Structure 1
């Protein structure tokens, strides 16, 4: 089966499965985050299954062990793959998402119940204050948070600067940062069809809280781009 056929078959199966997931969400939502988190992870497992058996794409995790307690995960973003794979594989951290996603009917509502921190791309002062307030709620609950600090999907090999929201989260949460590098864009480019093969996910050494902003950003930026040279 060629990559083009695999890609379209995957898209069809994922669309059908996602439609079913969305239709059931209102019933799951009645039971709050305790039900929504495992339900969302079931959707992620379905995505992982068809990515593996239809597309021939699977993630291989390697690198450092995770530190104990809540952390701020800072991950590279090259494909939709990691937006589902990482929260599921990392134990259900709250997720920083684009505000536009939080406004999608039903899905956005479910994302907030799961634990989403919507952020405005314009990074206005008001938007950043709201992000900090949302982060404080999850900190009080002792929950980890995952952010894609470059802000959007990037083709493999590109490494733009970090968005300003990362520094605010780092300061507000006071968590160690676990950087995550990956090369999903090699297998799953933003445009065109996907290619079978492994995706590397490299867990970096934890970066301690309380560092000066510039040092923290430089260390995170280098670590999440470790597979982009």
Structure 2
């Protein structure tokens, strides 16, 4: 039986006003932060500390202005030291929140994002892993090499298995990149399920009040073959994500 379609929320006037106010304040803060561009030459850890404070401020604005907060479950499932983190990706929210929740993540992202003035330069300075999707097999080799370097520094390597944002309850489309990382790096992989797309829809300006749940699941140990790993990862993330989305839908109807 195919999954039922997700029923998106409708944006009323108050949601529109609050969402626009949040966006304007974020843009205003970016303009103010542009004076800090020379600080990108500082040590990476100092730059990281500043970025984390900015992201915390944005998440605070999100909660205060739009009424959208978040909850993190399963922090005890994060292993000490370097590991892979495979997160469901439904909105821009998790790209912000994971940089606050995790100690020092290295996020796998497309190279074009690092070309964005200030924000992209900061991603580069923080040592995120940029990939050129047009480079084919060489892009995969570069990703594995860079991920190995980040793990050696004790960082978590974060990858979105579907490569892009997906709508809640949409059929999954997991790519081969994560399986290749898992096979090559031989470290635990921590799945993350979430329901951010219910309240922060992709390709939308509106932010709806509610509570996003980010659920960190028990790690998958290294050593599985690629097919078994991919099947287990997809089942665990998708089953838990579906439950979180359905819970959010139920709660919003009360």
Give the TM-score normalised by structure 2.
0.84
Counting helix residues as a fraction of each chain, which structure ranks higher?
2
Question: Structure 2 stretches of 5 or more lacking a match?
Answer: 1-12, 244-254
1:147 aligns with 2:156: no
- From 17, 24, 39, the counterpart of 2:36: 24
After superposition, the C-alpha distances for 1:65-118 in whole angstroms (9 at most, x for unaligned) are 122222211101111111010121111211111111012234323212212101
Match of 2:209 in 1: 196
Superposition deviation, residue 176 in structure 1: 0.5
CA RMSD of aligned residues (A): 1.7
Match of 1:96 in 2: 108
Question: Structure 1 stretches of 5 or more lacking a match?
Answer: none
For residue 66 of structure 2, give the secondary structure of its aligned residue in structure 1: coil
Superposition deviation, residue 168 in structure 1: 2.0
1:76 aligns with 2:73: no
Larger radius of gyration: 2
The 1-side partners of 2:135 and 2:235 are apart by 23
Count of residues in Structure 1 that have an aligned counterpart in Structure 2: 228
Deviant stretches of 4+, over 4 Å: none
- From 71, 89, 97, the counterpart of 1:60: 71
Give the TM-score normalised by structure 1.
0.93
**Contact 2:83–2:151 (Cα < 8 Å) also in 1:** no
**Contact 1:161–1:221 (Cα < 8 Å) also in 2:** no
CA distance 1:136–1:63, change in 2 (3 Å): closer
**Contact 1:10–1:55 (Cα < 8 Å) also in 2:** yes
1:180 aligns with 2:200: no
**Contact 2:194–2:212 (Cα < 8 Å) also in 1:** yes
For residue 109 of structure 2, give the secondary structure of its aligned residue in structure 1: strand
The 2-side partners of 1:61 and 1:159 are apart by 24
**Contact 2:82–2:152 (Cα < 8 Å) also in 1:** no
CA distance 1:26–1:64, change in 2 (3 Å): closer
